[in-house]
Structure 1
Amino acid sequence: MAPIPPDMAALGATPAAIEAHVEGLARRVETPCGEGGLVWRSWGAGKSHRGRPLVLLHGGYGGWSHWIRNVLPLSRDRQVLAVDLPGLGESAMPPAPEDPQAMAAIVVAGLHRLLPDGGEIDLVGFSFGGVLGGPVAVQLGGRLRRFVIVGSNGLGLARAPMAPMGSWRRQPDRAARLAVHQRTLEVLMFADAARIDPLALHLQERNAEAGRVRSPEISRTDILARSLPPLRGRLAAIWGGEDNIGRGAIAARRDVLRAADPEIPFHTIPGAGHWVSYEAAEAFNTTLAEMLG
C-alpha cells in the first residue's frame, strides 16, 4: 500500500485517528429522517466567509468521509456541510428507501433548517450524491447557485464493464472482508491501485459496511438526466480522466450534460479515477474552487 497522503498523515497516527481528528473539527447536527435523524457535519461555521455555504453529497455506500481530504481546505473561507445521506453512514433509513425524490426532500428540508436565512447554496454531488443531487438541486429552487456533478451516473448511460469485486457480506472474517474492500478500491474507486493507502481502505470498510440503502439501483436510472433541464446555467462537472465507471465514454456523459446546458463547464482531472476528490485531492480542490468562483 501507498503511504497515507501527507495532508492526512499530519493529522493522526492511524487512519481512525485521522478520521476522528477531521470529524472533531466539525459541528455535528441532526435533522429529521424517517424515524431518526439525518446526520450533518459542518466546518467553518461562525467564521467570516466570503463564499456561500457549500453542501457536499457523498457517493454510494459512502458517508461524509468521502470528502475527508476536501472539507478542511474548502472551509478556510466558507461554511462546508457534509451530510450522511438517508440510510447511509450514521443517518437513519428514509421512509421510502427506493424513492430518490423522497430522499431528496429529506435533504432539502434539513438544509432549510440548518440554513434558514434563504441565501444561495452551492451543491456538490459525488457519484450517487450527484444522482440524488439532481432532485435536491431542483427542490432547492432559487436557493441553488451552482450544482457541481462529480463522476455521477444517473444519466441513462450504461456503466463500463468492470472486473468482479466480490461481496464483503459473504466473507467469513474481517481479513477476508478487507480484501474485498481493497479490491473495490482497485476496480471501482482508484485509477492507480498503487495509490491506495490505509486511510482509503479504512474509510471504504467503514462506509460500505454502514450502508443500508442500495444506492446502485437508483444510480442505474436516468433521474439525474431528468433533473437537469430546469437547472440550465447553474451546472458544472468534474470527472476523473480515468474514471472506471465511465471508462471509454466520459465524452458521452459530457454530451448528456451539455444537451441540458450547452455552456456547462466540464473539467476532467488527468490520471484520476472515480474517487477523484480523494485520489487527486489537491487538483480537485483547486478545480472546484475555481468553478465556484
Structure 2
Amino acid sequence: MTAGDDEDQATPAAAAREVARLPSPEIDRLRALARRHTTPCGSGDMVWHSWGEAQGDVPPLVLLHGGSGSWTHWVRNIEPLVVAGRQIWIPDLPGFGDSATPPEGGDADALVEPMAEGLRALFGPRPVDLVGFSFGGLTAGLALAAHPELARQLVVVGAPAMGVVAERPVRLKGWRHLPPAEQLDMHRYNLAVLMLRDAALVEGLALEVHVGNVVRDRMTRRRLARTDILARSLPQVTCPVHVIYGEADALYQGFMAELEAAYAAAVPDFRGMALVADAGHWVQFERPEVFLQALLAALADGAAGRRG
C-alpha cells in the first residue's frame, strides 16, 4: 500500500491530462542513464529499466515499487546500489507507470504471471535477488509462493497484508474530483499521513515522484493489501527472507513486535526484521543511507544460502 491505494476510484485518465507533471531533473537524469527493456504484458509491454553492469556470479538485483508507483519509488537508492556493486533492474509493474495493464485482474495476484514471465525472458533460469516495497513486497511474496525458483532471496520492505492490524490504519484523501489547483494539497496530505514521517520531505523530489506516478495508476481498485494474503503465501516461499520497515511506518504503528512475530511464524527461512529509526512507510526514500546499510546486510546474509 502506498499513497493512492485508498483514494477515490474515478478513472485517472482525466486527472492525468489535467495535472501537469512536476519538473524533476533528478528523475530525468536517472532515466537517461538507464537501459530500457520490455517483456510481454497483456496487449502491450511490461517496461523495465536497468542500471549498472552484470557482476560475474552476483545475481541481478530486482526492485519492485509500491502501489500507485513506478521505478521512481527507488530514485534515491539506484546509484548507491550500483556503487555497492549491484546491477539494478526495476520494472514498472503491470498497470503502473509505463507498463500495460495485466491480461486480467486488477490486484497483486494479477501481476504474478506477467512478472514471472518477464523474469524468465530477461534472465532465463537464473534466480535473482528480489526486493519488494509495500505493494511490491506483497506482489513479490505472491510470485515466489507460486514460483519459488525465481529468486535466490527475498527482502520485503514495508509490505501490507500480514494480518496484524485489524482496522485500516490510514485514511487517504481523494483528489481526482478536485480542480487541478487543489490537487497538490491532497497529494501533500497523503504523502505526509502515509508515506513520510518527516513532513519537510513532502515537497521537492517526493512530491515530484508521487504526482508523476499517481496520475498513471490504472490499478485503483486494489483490496488485497487489506487482507492477510501475504502471511498466507509466505509459507510457500522457500528462499531466505529478510524484512525492513521504517520504525514509524503508519501501517503498523504500535504493532511492530506483532508484525515480526507474524513473519517469523509464516516464513520457513526467516532471517529477521530490521527497523530503521526516524523513518515512515517510504523508508528507502526517507533514510536512504541507513536503508542501504540494512539492505546490503540482508543481501549478504541471504547470499549465504538456506540455514538449518
TM over 0.5: yes
1:246 and 2:288 are equivalent in the alignment: no
Contact 1:160 1:246 in 2 (8 A): no
1:208 and 2:197 are equivalent in the alignment: no
1:27 and 2:35 are equivalent in the alignment: yes
User: How far apart, CA to CA, are the structure 1 residues paired with 2:82 and 2:143?
Assistant: 22
Report the 3-state secondary structure (helix = DSSP H, G, I; strand = E; otherwise coil) of the residue aligned with 1:37.
Answer: strand
User: How far apart, CA to CA, are the structure 2 residues paired with 1:197 and 1:235?
Assistant: 34
1:223 to 223, 229, 240: 229
Report the 3-state secondary structure (helix = DSSP H, G, I; strand = E; otherwise coil) of the residue aligned with 1:81.
Answer: strand
1:146 and 2:144 are equivalent in the alignment: no
- Structure 1 residues 48 and 147: alpha-carbon distance in aligned structure 2, compared to 1, 3 A threshold: closer
Contact 1:62 1:204 in 2 (8 A): yes
2:113 to 105, 127, 135: 105
**What pairs up with 1:33-182 in 2 under 5 angstroms?**
33-45=41-53, 47-49=54-56, 51-76=58-83, 77-98=85-106, 100-116=108-124, 118-158=125-165, 162=169, 164-173=171-180, 175-182=181-188
- Structure 1 residues 188 and 144: alpha-carbon distance in aligned structure 2, compared to 1, 3 A threshold: same
Contact 1:108 1:139 in 2 (8 A): no
Task: Quote the sequence identity (%).
Answer: 39
Contact 1:128 1:215 in 2 (8 A): no
Contact 1:147 1:235 in 2 (8 A): yes
Q: Which amino acid aligns with 1:240?
A: G
Q: CA deviation at 1:164?
A: 4.6
Contact 1:166 1:180 in 2 (8 A): yes
1:276 and 2:274 are equivalent in the alignment: no
Report the 3-state secondary structure (helix = DSSP H, G, I; strand = E; otherwise coil) of the residue aligned with 2:230.
Answer: helix
Q: Deviations over 1:15-57 (max 9, x none)?
A: 5111010111111111111111111001113x44563111111
Q: CA deviation at 1:222?
A: 2.2
Q: Which amino acid aligns with 1:274?
A: H
User: How far apart, CA to CA, are the structure 1 residues paired with 2:168 and 2:206?
Assistant: 23
Normalising by structure 2, we get a TM-score of 0.84
Q: Deviations over 1:237-292 (max 9, x none)?
A: 00000000111112222111000237422100011000001001111111101110
Give the aligned CA root-mean-square deviation in angstroms. Answer: 1.9
Normalising by structure 1, we get a TM-score of 0.88
Which 5+ residue runs of structure 2 have no aligned equivalent?
1-21, 301-308
Q: CA deviation at 1:192?
A: 1.7
User: How far apart, CA to CA, are the structure 1 residues paired with 2:253 and 2:166?
Assistant: 8
Which stretch has the larger CA shift, 75-84 or 62-71? 75-84
Q: Which amino acid aligns with 2:47?
A: V
Contact 2:144 2:236 in 1 (8 A): no
Which 5+ residue runs of structure 1 have no aligned equivalent?
1-13
Contact 2:65 2:73 in 1 (8 A): yes
Q: CA deviation at 1:168?
A: 1.4
Report the 3-state secondary structure (helix = DSSP H, G, I; strand = E; otherwise coil) of the residue aligned with 2:264.
Answer: helix
- Structure 1 residues 237 and 250: alpha-carbon distance in aligned structure 2, compared to 1, 3 A threshold: same
Q: Deviations over 1:211-242 (max 9, x none)?
A: 01136412112221122112245111000000
Residue in 1 that maps onto 2:296: 289
Contact 1:257 1:264 in 2 (8 A): no
Q: Which amino acid aligns with 2:280?
A: G
Q: Which runs of 4+ in 1 moved over 6 A?
A: none
Q: CA deviation at 1:200?
A: 0.4
Number of matched residues? Answer: 277
- Structure 1 residues 273 and 226: alpha-carbon distance in aligned structure 2, compared to 1, 3 A threshold: same
Which stretch has the larger CA shift, 21-30 or 136-145? 136-145
- Structure 1 residues 136 and 176: alpha-carbon distance in aligned structure 2, compared to 1, 3 A threshold: same
Q: Deviations over 1:55-80 (max 9, x none)?
A: 11100101110001111111231211
Report the 3-state secondary structure (helix = DSSP H, G, I; strand = E; otherwise coil) of the residue aligned with 2:223.
Answer: helix
- Structure 1 residues 88 and 288: alpha-carbon distance in aligned structure 2, compared to 1, 3 A threshold: same
Q: CA deviation at 1:163?
A: 6.1
User: How far apart, CA to CA, are the structure 2 residues paired with 1:144 and 1:205?
Assistant: 31
Report the 3-state secondary structure (helix = DSSP H, G, I; strand = E; otherwise coil) of the residue aligned with 2:153.
Answer: strand
